[in-house]
Amino acid sequence: MAPEPPLEGEAERLDQLTTTHGLAAADPAGMAGLITALPDQLRAVPAEVGAQIAQSGARPGLVIAAGMGGSAIAADCAAAISAEAGAAAVIPWRNYGLPTWAGDDAMFVAISYSGNTEETLSGYAAARERQLRRFAITSGGELAAMCAEDNVPVYSIPEGQPPRTALGWLLMPLLEGLSAAGVLQPALPQSIDETAEALHRLADELAPYRPSRSNPAKLLALRFWQALPVVYGVEPLCHVAAYRWKCQLNENAKMLAISGGLPEQNHNEVLAWGRIAEQAPNSFPVWLRTTGPFGDSRMTQRVEATRRVLGSDVDSVEVRACSGSSLTQLLWLCLYGDFVSLYCALLGGVDPTAIGAIDALKLAMSKA
Ligand code: PA5
């Protein structure tokens, strides 16, 4: 279902904010450009690092992919892609140390854009202590130094950007590293080209210069920015995308947002919609969906049944990925949400790049 037409004045205001001149003032650090550049990050990664990983041991029983925030989402994406491919378990880990159940056949991957995130460094130190097979993805920092000391393979990625704008740089080496370790089939170059092309097309469709009347991300932001956004993933790949939407709304637009997924929503959260008019009057659910082989007719029936239960007072919007591989569809949905969060930030008058509270917490913890 298409979003309802927004207020004319707000749409015009958003279009003013997204001219070149408007963006220079409202988006001084250039988040719009960084979001648009995601497809350029999907290039092949250095083969030498993969060769080092391949030589470092036999196929692991499972993979613990550790990271936080904007780095951890790459672990979620790899876990979903790996599950879709029926490969060994990839388990995202957002905490200190290692999970207690990590056995000696586990492989540890440290993912930290800055290389200085204390939870991820603590996981690396625990994996080092246990002599687990491991590799890292980082732009530098202490993580790169520890890996150099241990002669552990590292995918070095470009520095100087907010981690959440480096999803391609973080995810592609992770997928490559998992292939090198024998966990996943290697991605074929033509399938990576397909993904990049699909993302370029989407980035153009949702670009700032496209006016609100023909830009679905702007239309959605115009409805979202004063509401409590609720994003549900239908198929498992979409659960990750829904969580990425939530995090991008948190970090870029500085908004609370809820993410969840079917079928679990039907067993708890569905009840809350009965009181939504009291709690969050402008809210409506956005359903993220895949196209083609990742869906299942039972889930389509479930979406329809859920919409009926929510009732005609609760409007809902569906965002369906273009066809393509699991990588294409997942990144397509993520990029869509990135643009929605950007436009919510601009409408709310906040700098999409600034993350003052996260920086303050990291500083406080480093002194504690
Ligand atoms: O978006 C952000 O800046 C954060 O969510 C960071 O990604 C998070 O704090 C972890 O830092 P890093 O990605 O450098 O390990």
Q: Could you tell me which residues come within 8 angstroms of residue 86 by beta carbon, excluding any fewer than 6 positions away?
A: none
Is pLDDT at 129 greater than 60 in this prediction?
Answer: yes
Instruction: Say what the pLDDT of residue 185 is.
Output: 86
Ligand 1 close to Cβ of residue 215 (< 6 A): no
Q: pLDDT at position 7, please?
A: 65
Atom from ligand 1 closest to the CA of residue 68: 10
Using a 6 Å cutoff on CB, does residue 70 contact ligand 1?
A: yes
Query: Which amino acid, 54?
Result: A
Tell me, yes or no, if the pTM score tops 0.75: yes
Position 6 confidence tier, pLDDT thresholds 50, 70, 90: low
- The answer to whether the CB of 117 is under 6 A from ligand 1 is yes
Q: What is the pLDDT of residue 88?
A: 79
Amino acid 274: pLDDT: 93
Q: What is the pLDDT of residues 23-80, one digit of tens each?
A: 999 999 999 999 999 999 997 687 899 999 999 988 999 999 999 999 999 999 999 9
Residues 216-274 pLDDT 10s = 999 999 999 999 999 999 999 999 999 999 999 999 999 999 999 999 999 999 999 99
Alpha-carbon gap, residue 257 to 228, rounded angstroms: 6
Nearest CA to ligand 1 atom 5: 69
* DSSP-derived secondary structure letter, 133: E
Mean pLDDT computed over 211-220: 97
Span from the CA of 72 to the centroid of ligand 1 (angstroms) = 8
User: Cα(1)–Cα(222) distance, rounded to whole angstroms?
Assistant: 16
Tokens of 285: 């659910």
d(CA 278, CA 346): 27
Position 5 pLDDT exceeds 50 = yes
Atom of ligand 1 nearest to the CA of 71: 13
> Where do we find the tokens 């939504």?
276
* Residue given tokens 């350029």 in the structure block: 40
Q: Per-residue pLDDT tens for 172-208?
A: 999 999 999 999 988 777 899 999 999 999 999 999 9
State the average pLDDT over residues 279-288.
Answer: 93
* pLDDT score recorded for residue 2: 43
All residues at 6 or more sequence positions from 275 whose CB lies less than 8 Å from its CB, including other chains: none
- Residue 1: the pLDDT is 42
